[in-house]
Amino acid sequence: MGGKTRFVMNPFAPLELSPGDKAQLQQTANTFLTQSLHSYEIYLKVDERQVDENRWKPLKVKDNMRLYIEREIRTTTDGNHSMMNEASEQAGTPVALLEGKMQGSLEDVVFGTVATTSEDMCFNATYVDTLSGAAVLCTVAEPTLEEPLNTVTMKWQELDLMLHSNKRDFVFLEATGFTHLANGERIGYKLMYSIGFPQTPELPSRVRGSVNVFFLYRQEHDQCVEVYASGVVAHGSSVESFLVAPSAMKFYTCTKYAHCGEMKKLTWLMHRRFATDKQRGAPIGEGNCVNCGIPISSKIFGRFGRSRDSCKLCHRLVCGTCRVKKRLNFVTLEMTFEERKTSFCPVCIKEAFEIDSQDAARAQIMSTGSQYAYHSGTDYSFASSSGVLFTERFWHDVQVSIVLGVGGLMAGTITWPVGTRLGRVVAELVVVLVALDSALGE
């Protein structure tokens, strides 16, 4: 994220579209998907996965992925009226092509692309892109329980392209989901197609660009996904020729979607466990590592009553050898970005990563609001090896609590309203203790 800590919020008024407008946008997405699949079928069957370097100029090879730029901008004459060629000719920018293989599962890749709220867009960006602002302007087609990863939305995003250059922003139609090739094989897709509305005019101090790209994914074998992507990203600039290569390099962001999907599952599971444990109280870990069983010594008042490390899913102790540390990103409801290094045990990590992405997506459809946005200050730490356990760190809430643990069980809660003098003192004390505790845990 390049140190960015706050995202730009939606600069537009709510985008109200008629049923006719939405039907037309859905048809545009369907047409673009059909043409994208046709291009992929030719690549598979006619070209036999061989790229014609007389037409395509190699730009970069990275991690089994090959990136090309079309040597000449193809015109729409002679009946060549594909949406991609029209976009290329209109922008005066050559088409880019990315093909190859990457690690991951098809479901995780598509799950990593889906974002149905502005907060979810920013959450994805913390793992994938370098966006400085993002917003869902309008939902064209909602995901369903039958197809929880199939979405069609109108979106806006902003990015800092380079030093001393105006920011670029884009308004586009996005579609994600699954479909099938002519032979019945299942593939995933993500489409982005620039479309403007009177309600989304160009903004001051920004250059409006256009993005017309597709990403297609096919499960090659276990933990290996074939990628075929192509498109045009035009930054609407008089120095467009200098931006072709940097724009094409953005295609490599698709290699991060599988990891993003895994982190979304892990974050979602933490939200679910957090909600459950708030209701019933989390078990306090015993003095042995949950994975290898080695005894873990901890002082009752050492490090403010917390164990040396505990899994943030099962809340059991985990030794330094067994623990798995993950960099988890969070986007607050205030659109700020926070990064936390969080410890887990190997068993819980395996459980989280093996969750069916579509099941996680279905659960989120049935819930309300973003599963990846939270109030600033929320702490997911519950378990402790001794008698003191700080649980709730909601600085925007009206109370602060200290939960007492005895013999591995929740024994009671002492609560002070933040509005009282004593409550404010306790709240400030908890902030200091948790901050020091986190610093010592790094």
CATH number at residue 250: 3.30.530.20
Same domain, 320 and 217: no
Give, in order, the Cα–Cα distances in Å from 251 to each of 83, 211, 246, 399.
19, 12, 10, 47
Same domain, 257 and 309: no
Same domain, 316 and 245: no
Residue indicated by tokens 């995780």: 108
Name the stretches of the chain with pLDDT < 50: 2-4, 239, 298-307, 377, 380-416, 418, 434, 438, 441-442
Q: What pLDDT, in 10s, does the model give residues 233-249? A: 887 655 455 556 777 78
H or E element: which one contains 138? Answer: strand 131-141
Residues composing the chain: 442
Same domain, 240 and 144: yes
Contact 320, 328 (CB under 8 A): no
Please, what's the b/e burial string for 122-140 (b: 16 or more CB within 10 A of its CB; e: otherwise)?
A: bbbbbbbbebbbbbbbbbb
Q: What pLDDT, in 10s, does the model give residues 324-356? A: 999 999 888 778 888 889 999 999 999 999 999
Contact 229, 211 (CB under 8 A): no
Determine whether 405 is exposed, middle or buried from the number of CB atoms within 10 Å of its CB (0-12, 13-18, 19+). buried
Is residue 275 in a domain? no
Is residue 14 in a domain? no
Domain that holds residue 381: 282-441
Same domain, 248 and 319: no
Same domain, 322 and 256: no
DSSP labels for 333-384? TTSBEEEEEEEE-HHHHHHHHTS-HHHHHHHHHHSSS-SSEE-TT-------
DSSP-derived secondary structure letter, 423: H
Same domain, 99 and 180: yes
How many structural domains does the chain have? 2
Q: What stretches of 229-356 show up as alpha helix (H) in DSSP?
A: 240-249, 257-280, 346-353
Distance in angstroms (rounded) separating the CA atoms of residues 170 and 441: 41
Domain finish residue from 227, 261, 295 = 261
Distance in angstroms (rounded) separating the CA atoms of residues 152 and 158: 19
- Give the full edge-to-edge strand order of the sheet including 373-374: 337-344, 324-332, 373-374
pLDDT the model gives residue 285: 54
**Nearest CA-CA partner of 21 in 121, 141, 116, 117:** 141
Is residue 276 in a domain? no
Is residue 122 in a domain? yes
Based on C-alpha coordinates, what's the Rg of the chain?
A: 25
DSSP-derived secondary structure letter, 282: P
Is residue 334 in a domain? yes
Same domain, 232 and 289: no
Same domain, 291 and 342: yes
Is residue 5 in a domain? no
Is residue 10 in a domain? no
CA angle, 278 then 284 then 286, to 5°: 160
Is residue 1 in a domain? no
DSSP labels for 158-227? EE--STTS-EEEEEEEEEEEEEE-TTS-EEEEEEEEE---TTS---TTEEE-EEEEEEEEEEEETTEEEE
Contact 31, 152 (CB under 8 A): no
Residue indicated by tokens 């979602």: 268
Contact 5, 122 (CB under 8 A): no
Q: Are strands 224-234 and 206-208 parallel, antiparallel or unpaired?
A: unpaired
Same domain, 228 and 304: no
Same domain, 101 and 225: yes
